[in-house]
Structure 1
Amino acid sequence: MTDFNIYCDESRHTSDPTQPFMVIGGVRCPRDRKHDLVGQIHRMQARHNAHGELGWKRVSPNKAEFYEELLGLFASTPDLSFRCIVADRNKLDHDKFNGGDAELGFYKLYYQMLVHWLEKGQTYHIYLDWQQNQTQHRFHDLAKILTNKLRDHAGIACLEPVTSSNLPLIGLADVLIGAVGYAWNGLGASGAKLRVVDLLAEAAGLGTLARGTPRTAQKVNIFCFDGSVRG
């Protein structure tokens, strides 16, 4: 049995209607590799003078070399993997499936992203980037439902919200999620961001990020959701 950490974030779940595709995803690594990987990222930041919180919004020409090296770390580290779920917000029928509660639908997507990723016999520590919810206990409810579903299959040691500014691996997740969303929404104004998109596609062995991967894909797994957010 191996203990894993999963660092989760999301992109475009409430943003511009001209960018309909939202992405929820996470980066996974063995728990005993966390300190080494975080140390490597911190050293990269120091080399490139890229201090502070890292993330997709910070990808820019003057930080391009740092983010290229960060993608190189992800691509060359077998212990790092990425999974995400992509959904067209325009096709999510929250009235039909969630009693009009879009926030509930959002956490059902989080559930779908996670439940098919957690492997039998392993234990998981899951960290979600904190956000303000309209309804209390969303994180607790997600943890409870996952635990009940995976009983006698995989263990969930914790599922808790955290502040992303203190966790570079959530920052890495944000970068990868942002790259997938950039591709699916057909954006291309930033050459630096397009370079990150290309590097992630290369790491995944894909010609483009704007399509789903096979369910069995290990390094990079992109799941295109069909729009039915059922319980």
Structure 2
Amino acid sequence: MNAPQAPLGSYGPFRNAEVSIYCDESRHEGQSDQKYMVIGGLWLPRGKRQDFLTGLREIQERHKITGELKWGKLSRRCLPAYSEIVSFVAAQSDIHFRCIVVDKSRVNTDKYFQSDRQLGFWVFYWHCLKQWMGNGNTYFISLDFKPESLLSGPRRLRDVLEKECLGRAWVNSLDCVDSKENLFCQIADLLIGAVGYEQNGLSGSESKVAFCKSVASAFGRQNLSGGDQPSRGRFNIFKIWS
């Protein structure tokens, strides 16, 4: 995987820390009527994971949420619980969210990725991660489980990140995990789903529209349809080829 050069650690929120990143993506294949793909992740100090999980599970228990949190399952019944979870996440100053939004209609696979769509997918993953990776940090990266056709990508992605971070930051692990067993990946799915919903101008579900508004409000944004400079913290939406 060859990737364009960019400064390491220009915009990331952490320095000299162990950082866990939980990633997911939305609308990267199919859905031809939705031209924006979203790739993103939840970033947090590794040492605070258990504290965050304790607070999140208290919300789940209070709302009697036993299954996986998932954008595709968002309904009026689970909206209060999902909105409270987002409010909790937004209230934790050490939890950050970053995503990139890609206009699929303007991606020239032949020119930039040797006609390899999978290569293009992983280069965009690289772009999402690298701009926020800071000097002195050690990263533990979790990706939602990928189909067999994409399984070589994480290894290539890790190789590229390690090579570019050499001597300045470290990738301790980059693994695929089952999101059903990882609450942080589930929250990443919710936030990425909300961004993709607004970016694609969708409005067919009252519950999803309300959830998008809850996310924007919790993080002090007017909406989720705009784009940010890479340096904007806490909740960053960076648009590519839009």
TM-score normalized by structure 1?
Answer: 0.94
Contact 1:71 1:196 in 2 (8 A): no
Contact 2:131 2:230 in 1 (8 A): no
Counterpart residue number, 2:4? none
SS for the counterpart of 1:127 is strand
Per-residue deviation, 1:137: 2.3
Q: 1:29 aligns with which of 19, 44, 49?
A: 44
Alignment of 1:143-158 (within 5 A): 143-158=158-173
2:226 matches 1:207 = no
Structure 1: 5+ residue stretches without partners:
none
Residue-pair matches, total: 227
Structure 1 vs Structure 2 CA RMSD: 1.3
Per-residue deviation, 1:133: 4.1
Q: 2:142 aligns with which of 127, 135, 139?
A: 127
Per-residue deviation, 1:136: 4.8
Per-residue deviation, 1:157: 0.8
Counterpart residue number, 2:105? 90
SS for the counterpart of 1:143 is helix
TM-score normalized by structure 2?
Answer: 0.90
2:207 matches 1:192 = yes
Counterpart residue number, 2:116? 101
Alignment of 1:40-189 (within 5 A): 40-134=55-149, 136-189=151-204
Moved over 4 A (4+): none
Taking a change above 3 Å as real, the CA distance of residues 226 and 37 of structure 1, as seen in their structure-2 partners, is same
Moved more, 107-116 or 185-194: 185-194
Moved more, 31-40 or 107-116: 31-40
Structure 2: 5+ residue stretches without partners:
1-15
CA separation in 2, counterparts of 1:58 and 1:135?
25
CA separation in 2, counterparts of 1:70 and 1:226?
32
